[in-house]
Structure 1
Amino acid sequence: MTQSGVRGEVPAVDDTMSLAPRTQDASGGSGRPGGGRRAGGSKSNRRRRRRALRWSAIVLSLAILVTAGAGYLYYRHLNANIQKGQRSSGDSKAQKSQPNAAGQTPLNILLIGSDSRNSAENVKLGGSRNNRGNPPLGDVQMLIHLSADRKSAALVSIPRDTRVSIPKCTDPGTGKTYPATNDIINTSLARGGAGCTLATWENLTGVYIDHWMMIDFAGVVRMADAIGGVDVCVRQNVWDHPTAAVPGGSGLKLTAGTHKVKGKQALQWLRTRHAWGSDPLRARAQHMYLNSMLRTLKQQSVFTDTGRLMDLAEAATKSLKVSEEIGTVKKLYDLGMQLKSVPTDRITSLTMPNVQDPRDSNHLLPDGAGAAKVWQMLRDDLPFDNKGKGSGGTKGKPAKEATQAPSAPDDRIGVLVQNATGSATLAPAAGRAGEVAQELVRKGFAEAAKDTTAGLSEGRTVVRYPSADLEGDAQRIAKSLGIPLSSVQRSTDVSGVTLVVGADWRTGTSYRQSKPKDDGLPNSTDSINGSDSSQCMDVYAPYRW
């Protein structure tokens, strides 16, 4: 038998041998470790122990490398699952919120549910085989707003049949450009992808949206299965099926009471519209589902259960398409952790206040004053519940001061005034460009002039300038009219200083933006608190059984 002390080999071990192999002492004799030797044993003993330690270290190192390598490969696998797209593909002028006193800013994410039937799986789940290959529609659109201090959140839906102004968009995949139009909001997805839908939201609300996420039918099913089911409730038996008067239907069939839905049944719940009675009520059912899902995830030990976390990660990365700047597992995980940190009783779900479209009774319009208040509360980062004061955007910081001196005296500063006071619900206020231009002339800005371009629409008044040398001129114009300097923006869309009179300044010659009071939401928002587990849907009579 070859001695390990001579060859440096690991001794063989079987069940007939002693685990302490014979050793050779310095004089060539043999003995057992420790047998009649001084403390520490012979030199050969010590050499064997050092070899054993080295082998152990090598084996441990290899185990760590293999595990780390497997983890890295799995991380790359998850990243490869994620589909990504351009953040914005349309004309949008929304600006990021100013940080609060602690340097924090809100986070806004647009969640889009696509009705795409461009795969066999989606056709099977969504029906309508004749629509396979058609441009997808964004039938679910919801803004997730996390407050700057991450202490509260809001989920705000716009019903899919709401008529809005859709800006000029360019499809990043094909390069095709779509002109600006006025149409229902779900068509924006087919006019340049999710980035066009994001730009449409920004122009409507004035809220800067950081990211978008999109999910299709098959993705909803995968995610619902990975979560393990979500509790929903109906007050009467429901069956959303075709009727003699109304074709189609999701196929949802439940008895009265609370049910845990997952997989295809979860998709049916989210798609049901006829059985609830309207598209806004479908948004309510979707809010109930998402609130229940968030409560479920918080109750589960997802972030300490490796198996559950991997299942969710696999499902999420296969199910979501996201804007490219959040297209990694780490960034999606960080977003999830930020949302997880918000208590469920500080999450408010609501639907944009709306009215019937006089052009088409099947369509909706934003309810002017009610919708404007919701958008302004989002822009100013005011909480949608009565449990906090909010982080207040720039609250606690001094008003922004002019940073540049004008390039010329007041009477030599050129400024073009545009009337952009129109909206989907309001006609432009007549003569506003001329009225404000005259006020500027009266104040000494002799070169102020009105722009006669018609059909402009802007939710919030802004002053734009094209280059750094005109920043001081733009700030001077804003200050003379009481416009906050946070509304002075550099833009390549203008060739000179341009004052855009928005829908928030329809009367008067001095800009006095009213700050909404922290007195809650308009009654027409149909809001639900995230911790309210008692919510239950009423079923429209023709769909009861």
Structure 2
Amino acid sequence: MTQSSLRGEGSAVEEAIPPAPRKGSASDGRGRHGGGGRGGKKRDAKGRSPARRVLRWSAMVLALVVLGTAGAGYLYYQHLNGNIRKGQRSSGDSKAQRSRPNSAGQMPVNILLIGSDSRNSDANVALGGSRDNRGTPPRGDVQMLIHLAADRKSAAVVSIPRDTRVDIPKCTDPDTGKVYPPVNEIINESLARGGAGCTLATWESLTGVYIDHWMTIDFAGVVKMADAIGGVEVCVKQNVWDRPTPLAPGGSGLKLTAGKHKVKGKEALQWLRTRHAWGSDLLRARAQHMYMNSMIRTLRSQNVFTDSGRLMGLAEAATKSLQVSEEIGTVEKLYHLAMQLKTVPTDRITMTTMPNVADPQDDNHVVPDGAGATKMWKMLRDDVPFDDKGPAPDAKNAKKHTGESAAGRTPSVQADRLGVLVQNGTRTATQAPVGGRAREIGQELAGKGFTRATADTSAALSEEETLVRYPSADLEGDAQSVAKALGVPLSSVRKSTDVSGVTVVVGADWRTGSTYPKEATPKAGDLPDNSDAINGSDESQCMDVYAPYRW
């Protein structure tokens, strides 16, 4: 069996939606990703059982879908508003910028879903166990980015395994004011280093994708919400029983015969918790993506939208379970965001996992697969659909959207008077930095007239993509002139408060040579092979059961 594998102001939701109707109107585990695999122990470094982490995933996904059906929540709008907890959108350093609008002036929307392992309530302790960990900062064990295309005709979901080692930026806890320095650690630790806003900043730093909003959820309401859905169809190719074995104690308890089954309540949780019977954490992510797709199809096939009693029950559970970034912290705004998500047909929804490889520093972790992950992030930044079912884009508008044909701004000073700092950003999680790259590209700039270009001799940075950064609008034209001299696309010229002047960061995509390597613009549907993509309308998906767990 094979393994499957922004800075800006205001709310993108408010920019893209019509006025609201008036009130009253009609992951766990450690395998490769944490020490379990097909035979390891099911405990993390703090002794927590990995099985319960998927409870948050279930509640998170169910809550998201509920939001798409929450129109009846306006019947008791103020009550539901009181249920919603809110937090700061970003609490960490980030260099990401909003995407450019498409030719129709529409903007994409990116929403980060975070499943918290919080044990700070009786309900969460009852579902998640481990009373000894009550009161400790929660971690983000499940993380998914939903990308809603600018034209609202397609959507993509990307999961990042909880044990992916990344650079977590400097973050400040919005409640305590505590400042956490940058670290290189697994991504689920980011939630404990400044809340959901730090996890958002971590994603932005990793991907370069501006994230408009976040939503977090713990696992206290999962059983109630799973039952409220009314059951979701899943499929296994062989009889499955996820039970303890001599090499792997524990297990979800899932026991099904081969074929299709409708699961809900406890059985639905068992499906989402199962890891050993599938063979790895990555394959469990596939099972979760199948469940999520099936659930969306189920809700759309039912008369949920006309059953106000059922909608109110779902909305009640969802709003009590969710915490959201403050700019979408009302039922009204969540409703309109959900209505935009609802417009995407199921055959234009694509579920994926970030391309990744084993961490050379720790077999229990993974790191982004450089070329594959970089391609996926570029597709998100450029709003390229993950599927190929849409119309072919107009080439002229596509170039305008990505900034390739932009005329640019006029430089404020001549090249020989402009100070440019060149940094080496060729370090990656799997490769050592290339020595002397800042000096080499600095010399290349000097030869093109930028005689005041200097190389930064401090430690190498980690940047997948070569960037030209500038601190303020008056230097944008100067930064663009530097990019043009080097052949770097204008879409890689970005405003950043982390620099004091025009700064070139030579990324891992330019490890050799003085000529910037030209890369083909990603095409719709041209995903990396190891992204384990599943289309939302694919009803043929069926999980293969790892042999020791067949019966």
Shorter-chain-normalised TM-score: which range?
A: 0.7 to 0.9
Within a 5 Å distance, the mapping from 1:224-235 to structure 2 comes to 224-235=226-237
Give, as a single letter, the amino acid of the residue that structure 1 aligns with 2:191: L
Structure 2 CA distance for partners of 1:273 and 1:468, relative to 1, 3 Å: same
Give, as a single letter, the amino acid of the residue that structure 1 aligns with 2:491: S
Give, as a single letter, the amino acid of the residue that structure 1 aligns with 2:466: T
Deviation at 1:543, TM superposition (A): 3.1
Deviation at 1:185, TM superposition (A): 1.6
Deviation at 1:193, TM superposition (A): 1.5
Comparing 176-185 and 410-419, the one that deviates more: 176-185
Counterpart Cα distance in 2 of 1:97 and 1:448: 29
Counterpart Cα distance in 2 of 1:389 and 1:318: 40
Specify every segment of 5 or more residues in structure 2 that has no aligned partner in the other structure, as ranges: 1-21, 26-71
| 2:512 aligned partner | 507
Counterpart Cα distance in 1 of 2:528 and 2:86: 36
Give, as a single letter, the amino acid of the residue that structure 2 aligns with 1:363: H
| 2:76 aligned partner | 74
Counterpart Cα distance in 2 of 1:247 and 1:171: 38
Structure 2 CA distance for partners of 1:263 and 1:133, relative to 1, 3 Å: farther
Asked if structure 2 preserves the Cα contact closer than 8 Å seen for 1:382 and 1:389, the reply is no
Counterpart Cα distance in 2 of 1:66 and 1:139: 37
| 1:190 aligned partner | 192
Give, as a single letter, the amino acid of the residue that structure 2 aligns with 1:395: A
Within the alignment, does 1:459 sit opposite 2:464 as a pair?
Answer: yes
Given candidates 497, 500, 508, the residue that maps to 2:502 is 497
Specify every segment of 5 or more residues in structure 1 that has no aligned partner in the other structure, as ranges: 1-64
Asked if structure 1 preserves the Cα contact closer than 8 Å seen for 2:374 and 2:465, the reply is no
Deviation at 1:471, TM superposition (A): 2.9
Asked if structure 2 preserves the Cα contact closer than 8 Å seen for 1:464 and 1:499, the reply is yes
Asked if structure 1 preserves the Cα contact closer than 8 Å seen for 2:147 and 2:155, the reply is yes
Counterpart Cα distance in 2 of 1:178 and 1:482: 37
Asked if structure 2 preserves the Cα contact closer than 8 Å seen for 1:233 and 1:537, the reply is yes
Give, as a single letter, the amino acid of the residue that structure 1 aligns with 2:176: T
Within a 5 Å distance, the mapping from 1:142-291 to structure 2 comes to 142-291=144-293
Give, as a single letter, the amino acid of the residue that structure 1 aligns with 2:339: M
Counterpart Cα distance in 2 of 1:284 and 1:239: 18
| 1:413 aligned partner | 418
Structure 2 CA distance for partners of 1:519 and 1:80, relative to 1, 3 Å: closer
Counterpart Cα distance in 1 of 2:23 and 2:260: 47
Listed one character per residue, the Cα deviations across residues 336-355 of structure 1 (whole Å, up to 9, x for unaligned) are 21121111111111111222
Q: TM-score, normalised by structure 1?
A: 0.82
Given candidates 531, 540, 544, the residue that maps to 2:537 is 531
Deviation at 1:276, TM superposition (A): 1.6
Counterpart Cα distance in 2 of 1:376 and 1:488: 14
Name the SS of the counterpart of 2:383 in structure 1.
coil
Deviation at 1:500, TM superposition (A): 1.7
Given candidates 475, 485, 493, the residue that maps to 1:488 is 493
Asked if structure 1 preserves the Cα contact closer than 8 Å seen for 2:385 and 2:525, the reply is no
Deviation at 1:450, TM superposition (A): 0.5
Give, as a single letter, the amino acid of the residue that structure 1 aligns with 2:453: A
Structure 2 CA distance for partners of 1:429 and 1:272, relative to 1, 3 Å: same
Comparing 107-116 and 507-516, the one that deviates more: 507-516
Deviation at 1:256, TM superposition (A): 3.2
Deviation at 1:390, TM superposition (A): 6.5
Listed one character per residue, the Cα deviations across residues 301-353 of structure 1 (whole Å, up to 9, x for unaligned) are 22232222222211211111111111111111112211211111111111112
Counterpart Cα distance in 1 of 2:463 and 2:419: 22
Deviation at 1:97, TM superposition (A): 0.8
Structure 2 CA distance for partners of 1:120 and 1:540, relative to 1, 3 Å: farther
Higher relative contact order structure (alpha carbons within 8 Å, sequence separation ≥ 6): 2
Within a 5 Å distance, the mapping from 1:9-88 to structure 2 comes to 74-88=76-90
State how many pairs are aligned. 479
Counterpart Cα distance in 2 of 1:453 and 1:321: 40
Structure 2 CA distance for partners of 1:358 and 1:471, relative to 1, 3 Å: closer
Calculate the aligned-residue CA RMSD, in Å: 2.5
Counterpart Cα distance in 2 of 1:484 and 1:531: 36
Counterpart Cα distance in 1 of 2:533 and 2:73: 42
Give, as a single letter, the amino acid of the residue that structure 2 aligns with 1:522: P
Deviation at 1:235, TM superposition (A): 2.7
Name the SS of the counterpart of 2:220 in structure 1.
helix
Deviation at 1:389, TM superposition (A): 4.6
Name the SS of the counterpart of 1:217 in structure 2.
coil
Structure 2 CA distance for partners of 1:132 and 1:236, relative to 1, 3 Å: farther
Structure 2 CA distance for partners of 1:447 and 1:239, relative to 1, 3 Å: same
Structure 2 CA distance for partners of 1:395 and 1:453, relative to 1, 3 Å: same
Structure 2 CA distance for partners of 1:245 and 1:428, relative to 1, 3 Å: same
Within the alignment, does 1:433 sit opposite 2:435 as a pair?
Answer: no
Give, as a single letter, the amino acid of the residue that structure 2 aligns with 1:463: V
